[in-house]
Amino acid sequence: MGPRMPALTSKMPHNEARALFALLNLDSSALLVAIVSVPLSIYGDWLPAVLCAVALFAVDRFQKRIAKPDKAGVKKMNLKLQPEFTVCPAAPADAESLQYLYTQDYLQAHKQMHQKVDANMEEWEVALGPVDFADVLRGNDKDVKLLKCIDNSSSSSPVGYILYQLREKGPRGKRKQRYCELVNIVVHSDHRGCGAGRCLFEAFCEDVVSTAPGFAGDLRLYVAEHNSGPRAWYKRMGFKDAGWQTECLGGSQVRFQRMMYSPTP
């Protein structure tokens, strides 16, 4: 039997060792093993120490790969979590659900954002425009249309709606001005920021162009001055400021911004 191989000694300076650990990007557990392995290599057999260090280094890399998925994987997960919506004409059976959305996410929302205005719900309803959804869905007024938005991953109950009216104005005997007024677009608070509003607006534009092209070139709406989120959203959709209208509620003046939209050809 030949002479026993002497233990390998390390002559690496401390600063160089720290630099190597930083370069390898080891976490605390792998660094601890490295610290233990170095003395083993100095005072004991070098082979177990090297095998131990390699094994822990591989485990460390595997854990980091699991903890930090690549960007493509994150995008795929987000796409799967993003809800999908369907927009279609509302039916008479939707009247109760739509009335609830109108009351809670439109009337009540305006009342809450104007806390300094001493007005009750009935006064807000008069100012914003009362809507009898059961009557609208009977189809008595052909110029008033209603589309609903459904979350395909949940129940068939509407999570939002868009109500609009075709209008004409001008003196008798002369060519009348035709425009489409977006009466209100409402999305349930749990589904905002997910694309439901955009789906409703795009479906609304397509519906006006296909069913009433003479009114599609001039879209209008009113939005409360304090309703900053929807005001910014309408501007992103392409609406422009076009003046103001004031309503008296509970002894206070509440301003509504008039906005207009002309679709580009």
Q: How far apart are CA 151 and CA 159, in angstroms?
A: 7
Q: Is the pTM of this model over 0.75?
A: no
E strands in the chain: 85-89, 144-151, 160-169, 177-187, 219-224, 240-249, 252-261
Choose among 190, 260, 163: nearest CA to 219. Answer: 260
- pLDDT at 107 (0 to 100): 95
Q: Which stretches of the chain drop beneath a pLDDT of 70?
A: 1-83, 263-265
- For 70-92, the pLDDT digits (tens) are 544 434 434 445 568 999 999 99
Residue 120: beta bridge partners? none
Q: How far apart are CA 60 and CA 171, in angstroms?
A: 80
| Six token digits for residue 90 | 């509302």
- pLDDT at 259 (0 to 100): 96
Q: How far apart are CA 96 and CA 189, in angstroms?
A: 17
What are the chain's domains? Answer: 14-67 (no CATH), 83-261 (3.40.630.30)
